[in-house]
Structure 1
Amino acid sequence: MKRVAATDPVAPVMFWQTIRAGGLVAYPTDTLYGLGADAENHIAAEYLAEVKGREGPFSVMVGHLERLEEYGLVSTEIADKLAGMLPGPYTILLPPRCPEKLSSPIMGLKGKVGFRVPRHPFIQAAFRKARGLVITTSVNRAGQPPLQDPEAIQDQFKEQIDLLVDGGVLPPSRGSTVVDPTTIPWQVIRQGDGKL
């Protein structure tokens, strides 16, 4: 496992190099540490599911709202409301525009995908550096609490994770709030840090 500080200018480059090589990356977000892989690389996505210990569904991380609109089917009205929420601690459930491009661990049972646009300096810097879709989930084995300390992440996942972007110990978090904006009213699937 390689390790780099989230504030190191080379960190976004290392992030994309690892993702595009089919590797797994752990990184800080605005809620929990995330574990990610290339969402369009089926082998990498399946390996992430194996390391996590569950089949999914998992979310997809993008850098900003415009990219979410590019990959998810979203009305103008919904997009206008999301503009006041994103980036932020939300996972937005939407039908995908091109489901055939996404690996199987991403798709939910109702054919929707959870999209994340985290408000974290490292994530925003990484997505300014390059475009891409990253499958994302919290860093923990299924059934275990999420890890918020880089030392614990390294201890438990040193054989599986290729790159750890060290953002220090993150504060306690309930994770992102999962919202389905395609219903009236919007449905909160899981209450997390984000408030509606």
Structure 2
Amino acid sequence: METKIYTRTQIPEAAAALAAGELVAFPTETVYGLGADATNEAAVKKVYQAKGRPSDNPLILHVADVAAVEAAVADFPDKARQLIKAFWPGSLTLIMTLKPNTFSKTVTGGLSTAAFRNPNNAATLALIKALGRPIVGPSANTSGKPSPTLAKHVYHDLKGKIAGILDDGPTGVGLESTVLDLSTETPVILRPGAVTKADIEAVIGSIENNQHHVAADEIPKAPGMKYKHYAPNAQVVIVPTPAEFQAALDWATAQHQPFGVLATDQQLAQATQVSAANQFSLGDTVETASRALFAGLRYFDLKPEIKLILAEGFPKTGLGVAYMNRLEKSAGQKYFSKDEWLMLYSNYTW
């Protein structure tokens, strides 16, 4: 299959491909999604096949307006209306209980709930409106790998597997949307994102955070909850504080193997023993780091000689909660510790 790159002027053609049961990747403000007509079960099954994704993993429904949600949910909570008014279009996904037989189990993962999002991207909103139906939209990447923030990332993973990619340039946020479960008595964040707990509580009052991951044998209620996710080919090791960065660089250098450094410009300035080709800048702030994280992980995937990536951590406050959630999953929770590293990894093999 030839994978076509669509521009904004070709949105009607991209919508026609979706209507015909084909897969079309689309841009959002967070990451690129892999689109299929949510009412076409055969098309939705192609999403799992293209990504290599377990079919128990539910898919987020991308909608053009609130009316599409009202038509699908059994009970529209007042809190949902308040949040929609405050954050849609935007990077907040809301889980609600469905009316019976609204979407297939292929969409919901067999659950009685579904996740809805109204993306803040004009091209994609026009695509959904042109189709006239919600589209499913998991991240447009091979399952478990870093999410795509550019059309070329999608093409790298899925060329020949999907009909097309609607290219609208780089995404703005860089991390997937916040997922809030409104089907429980107390709303709970299942996946952190750019819309923070404090942002949500300012609108609807107290909510909860869950552990942000599920065990391998559990059915997740939202995407990205598996323990290891967003992982590149190399082992990612998180350097938790700037004070430990030099020790981490010294240790990695002593292994006499090429390694990558994914860090802010301030920390990269210390990495004089690492070639520029094996460095990737996260900018200067957690906001720039969040936009650059997945692109950086993918950058090192193009370097098969790199078996280790030292990645800079941030405090778990504000957007740092979402950044560290993705980084910890990409690393399988592996942290560098100056006091423990040599003991724990003395037998580490590359």
What TM-score, normalized to structure 1? 0.89
- Deviation of 1:62 (Å): 0.9
- The structure carrying a bigger strand percent of its residues is 1
**Paired residue total:** 192
> What is the CA deviation profile of residues 66-92 of structure 1, one whole-angstrom value per residue up to 9, with x for unaligned ones?
211111233351343122222210111
Shift of 1:110: 4.4
Q: Which has the higher helix share?
A: 2
Q: Which moved more, 1:153-162 or 1:106-115?
A: 106-115
Alpha-carbon contact 2:61-2:136 (below 8 Å) kept: yes
CA distance in 2 between partners of 1:83 and 1:152 (Å): 32
The answer for the alignment partner of 1:156 in structure 2 is 157
Aligned match of 2:73:
72
How far 1:175 moved relative to its partner? 0.5
Q: Which residue of 1 aligns with 2:187?
A: 186
Q: 1:179 to 1:121 in 2, by over 3 A?
A: same
For the pair 1:24 / 2:47, whether they are aligned, the reply is no
1:60 is aligned to 61
Residue aligning to 1:96: 98
Alpha-carbon distance in 1 for matches of 2:41, 2:68: 21
| Alpha-carbon distance in structure 2 between the residues aligned to 1:192 and 1:42 | 29
Structure with greater contact order relative to length (CA < 8 Å, sep ≥ 6):
1
Q: What amino acid is aligned across from residue 126 of structure 1 in structure 2?
A: L
Alignment of 1:132-147 (within 5 A): 132-147=133-148
Contact 1:39–1:60 (CA<8 Å) still a contact in 2? yes
Does the CA contact (< 8 Å) of 1:177 and 1:193 recur in 2?
Answer: yes
Gaps of 5+ in 2: 201-350
Distance in 1 (alpha carbons) for counterparts of 2:173 and 2:62: 21
Residue 132 of structure 2 corresponds to which residue in structure 1?
A: 131
Instruction: Give the corresponding residue for 2:33.
Output: 34
In the other structure, the counterpart of 1:106 is 107
> RMSD of the TM alignment (CA)?
1.9
8 Å CA contact 1:148, 1:169 repeated in 2: yes
Give the 3-state SS of the residue equivalent to 1:84 in structure 2.
helix
Deviations 1:10-44 (A, max 9, x none): 31x12220111110011101211000111121111
Higher alpha-carbon deviation: 48-57 or 100-109:
100-109
Letter in 2 for 1:22: G
Separation (CA, whole Å) in 1 of partners of 2:191 and 2:77: 24
Question: Contact 2:38–2:103 at 8 Å: present in 1 too?
Answer: yes
8 A contact 1:58–1:107 mirrored in 2: yes
8 Å CA contact 2:21–2:37 kept in 1: the answer is yes
TM-score by length of 2: 0.51
Identical columns (%): 26
SS at match of 1:36: strand
**Is the 1:31–1:89 Cα contact (8 Å) retained in structure 2?**
yes
Letter in 1 for 2:37: D
Change in CA separation of 1:156 and 1:76 when aligned onto 2, cut-off 3 Å: closer
Over residues 164-195 of structure 1, what are the superposed CA-to-partner deviations in whole Å (9 max), with x where a residue is unaligned? 10011224522000001233432111101223
Residue 3 (structure 1) aligns with = 5
Structure 2 Cα separation of the partners of residues 59 and 80 of structure 1: 18
